[in-house]
Amino acid sequence: MRKKIIVFGLCLSLVLTSVTACSKNKSKTKTSEAVSSSTDNGSEEETVSLAQTDLAGKDTEFTTKINYVAEIGDKFVADNKDMLMYFMFSQLSLIDEYDSANKLMEDLKTGLRTSNVMSAAFSQLKEQAKVGENEEVFNAYYTEQKKRYEDLATQNSTDFNIMLQSMGYEDEEAFKKAIKSQFDDYVVLAKIAKDNDLTVTKKEYDSLVNAIVASEDSYTSVEDFESKVNKQQLIDSIMMNKSYYQIAKSVTVTEDTETTDSKDDSEALEVSTEIPSIGGDSETLAYSTYDVEVTVPDLSGIKVAASAAKVTKLSLQSAVSAILNSTSFNVENVEKKEGKVEKYDLVNIDYTGRIDGKIFAGGQAEGYNLLIGSNSFIDGFEEGLIGKEVGVTEVLNLKFPDDYGQAAGTASQSETTAAEEETTVEETTDAE
């Protein structure tokens, strides 16, 4: 039923990575051959998996449901401070400790701008940067990276080459080529950090480690974490994040010369370009350096179109939606809003889809948090909820798109209950 949304983050860390799949016409829901489903009147209705559809066998990431949504306020931030530190680093940036929801919104916007600018600027930067060759240095780096993946394969009881193929590498040569590109990226970022006097403080490192330990059940203490994870890689990841921010801050944003076909026509928000930092500690930790010659161009000479650099109300709400839809966060003590559903609202819904009068597996959910305007459901679904009163049940008669797997051209009737709705996150004055 759902089309997946990209939650686009920098995902820079070699230690903490977050992978988001993207598919506009594939479902990400649990399916079954034939199960029973309770209806509103208490009776049970058969749920079937249709062979003609492409709904079966999809990811089951949404099996844990959040039954309500609300505005992210100060209480939410206070309840989730460590998790927010962890989440924001792996998705967007290293950020300062939170003291308010407003601070979270500002950091989300700054991180989104950085992500947008980096997407537009980094290929230009790599083309203009010159990285010298030092075969001995690179081979040592490659040997270290290969061992990490070999150890990972051993931990998962699989063959190294089979694991590479599952990751999309045809053979080890293709893998080595990707590691070389990763190496070149790193030394360019390290040069930018050096040229701009960017540092990694002990407080930044300690704050992030404490957040990881508090957020991950697999680590019992800081000592346990440091015995399992390469400390240097985490320090290097913090440096890389700061270098990405430096690039996003320094490149030239120009007026668009051509119109774009972006479907996001929501309000553009003002965003800070400052590099987030915990700071407060003069002791610095050394990031890795390699004996290769690196020449980095003047960053201000790299030009990015304004449309590529902007952060919109929709993209900010998408980031908020990703937080609220993560089962890791404590979402008790939240505010709720009644009234009519509006575009860019986060709405909690229950839905049941039927084809030929039968509920289809993967076509129903309770407590799903839907961002109106995200186009994450089939055409007509989100539009059909706009203007409806919270708490009412609507019957939407829709049609799957022709390119929706093998379900092309099949009509669907979906009952949706706008159970509770979240108001748009309050913006600061300069973001209105």
Q: What pLDDT does 319 receive?
A: 87
Question: How does pLDDT run along the chain (432 residues), one tens digit per residue?
Answer: 443 322 223 333 333 332 222 222 333 333 333 334 555 544 566 664 543 344 333 323 222 222 333 467 888 888 888 888 888 875 444 555 677 888 888 888 988 998 899 999 998 999 999 999 999 999 999 999 999 899 889 988 999 999 999 999 999 999 999 999 999 999 999 999 999 999 888 888 888 888 889 888 889 999 999 998 889 999 999 899 889 989 999 999 998 765 555 667 788 889 888 777 666 667 899 999 999 999 999 999 999 999 889 999 888 888 888 887 777 877 666 666 767 777 787 777 788 877 767 776 667 777 777 887 778 777 777 787 787 777 777 787 776 765 555 434 445 555 665 554 443 333 333 333
**Alpha-carbon span 384 to 402, nearest angstrom:** 20
Helix H or strand E segment including 91 = helix 81-91
CA distances from 153 to 148, 160, 165, 373, 374 (A): 9, 5, 12, 41, 37
pTM comes to 0.70
DSSP β-ladder status, 294-295 and 252-254? unpaired
**Alpha-carbon span 45 to 22, nearest angstrom:** 32
| Structural domains of the chain sorted by starting position, each given as residue range(s) with its CATH number in brackets | 34-71+335-431 (3.10.50.40), 74-324 (no CATH)
DSSP bridge partners of 254: 305
Q: What pLDDT does 90 receive?
A: 52
Output the CA torsion sign for 69, 72, 78, 80. Answer: positive
Helix (H, G, I), strand (E, B) or coil at 210: helix
**Structure token pair of residue 183:** 């190496």
Q: What pLDDT does 30 receive?
A: 31
**Alpha-carbon span 117 to 308, nearest angstrom:** 7
CA distances from 432 to 98, 270, 313, 424, 427 (A): 22, 8, 10, 12, 6
Q: How would you classify residue 315: left for phi > 0, otherwise alpha for psi between -120 and 50, otherwise beta?
A: alpha
Residue in 354, 382, 384, 389 with CA at minimum distance from that of residue 368: 382
Give the DSSP letter of residue 238.
Answer: H
DSSP structure string for 34-50: EEEEE-TTS-EEEEE--
Which residues have CB under 8 Å from 156's CB, separation 6+? Answer: 163
Q: Where are the beta strands (DSSP E) in 17-157?
A: 34-38, 44-48, 130-131
Output phi, psi for 184, to 5 deg. Answer: -60, -40
**Alpha-carbon span 11 to 13, nearest angstrom:** 6
Q: What pLDDT does 412 receive?
A: 53
Residue in 346, 370, 391 with CA at minimum distance from that of residue 1: 370
Q: How would you classify residue 168: left for phi > 0, otherwise alpha for psi between -120 and 50, otherwise beta?
A: left
Q: What pLDDT does 27 receive?
A: 31
Q: What pLDDT does 32 receive?
A: 31
